[in-house]
Amino acid sequence: MTLYLLCLALFCVGLYGVLRKRNLVKIIIGLGIMEYAMNLFFILLAYRYHGRSPIEAQDQQILQMVDPLPQALVLTSIVIGLAVTALVISIAIRIYEKYGTFDITEIKRLRG
């Protein structure tokens, strides 16, 4: 249970970064932390007590293993996170080109 709560704490750290920080890069880092927290949470859900990694090998019989499905899902989620991060970073670089700053309080041409 403690581990799940720590995941939640990590998620909240990321959310704090997204909501409170003023620098675009720090916001992106906050987003990354959120993604790590949720992936970690999903991996933890799959853990079975005394389970081992779900890899079948020759001449070995696995009696107790952790749930393999979330590992595949988390891999997918990591790829999605990579795509989002790459896109957001390139947008941030372009924003820096146009506005000359990373401070979101100065990036406010859209109003209303």
Partner 1 sequence: MPGANIIPLFVIIPLFTAFFISLIGRFIKSTYVDIVSGLSSFLLLIFSFWGLAILGRCPETALVYKIGGWLPPFGICMVLDGLSNFMLVTVNIIAFLVVIYSFNYMEKYTDKPKFYTLFFLMLTGMNGVIVTGDLFNLFVFLEIASISSYALVAFGTEAEELEASFKYAIMGSVASAFIFIGIAFLYGFTSTLNMADMARVLSAKPSNWAVPFVSVLFLMGFGLKSALVPFHAWLPDAHSSAPASISAMLSGVLIKTLGVYALARIFFNVIGASGTVLSVLMFLGALSMLVAVILALSQWDLKRLLAYHSISQIGYVVLGIGLGTPLGILGGLFHLFNHSIFKSLLFLNSGAIDYSARTRDLREMSGLRKKLPVTAGTNLIASMSIAGIPPLNGFFSKLIIILACVQKGHIGYALAAVIASVLTLASFMKVQKFAFLGPLKEKYQAIKEVPPAMKFAMVSLATICILGGLLLLPSFSFFLNNAVNVLSDGRDYALAVFGAVLK
Partner 2 sequence: MMNDPKIGMSLIVKTVTRLTVGLILLFGIYIVLHGHLSPGGGFAGGVIIALSFVHLMLAFGKDVALKKLSKNLASNLESIAALMFLSIALFGFFGGAFFSNIINKGVPFQLFSAGTIPLSNLAISLKVGVGLFAIFLALVILEESKRK
Q: What is the 3-state secondary structure (H, E, C) of 42-106?
A: HHHHCCCCCCECCCCCCCCCCCCECCCHHHHHHHHHHHHHHHHHHHHHHHHHHHHHHHCCCECCC
38 binds, among partner 2, partner 1, none (CB under 5 to 8 A by kind): partner 1
95 binds, among partner 1, partner 2, none (CB under 5 to 8 A by kind): partner 1
Cα 30 from Cα 24, distance rounded (Å): 10
Q: 16 is written with which tokens? A: 């704090």
Cα 5 from Cα 3, distance rounded (Å): 5
Least separation in angstroms between CB 55 and partner 1: 20
Cα 43 from Cα 74, distance rounded (Å): 7
Q: Which of 6-14, 16-24, 28-36, 74-82 is the region at the interface with partner 2 (rule: CB under 8 A)?
A: 74-82
Which of 96, 99, 102, 104 binds partner 2 (CB under 8 A)? It is: 96
The answer to the question of residue 55 lying near partner 2 (CB under 8 A) is: yes
Residues that bind partner 1 (CB under 8 A): 11, 15, 18, 24, 27, 31, 34-35, 38, 41-42, 45, 69-70, 73, 76-77, 80, 83-84, 87-88, 91-92, 94-95, 98-99, 107-110, 112
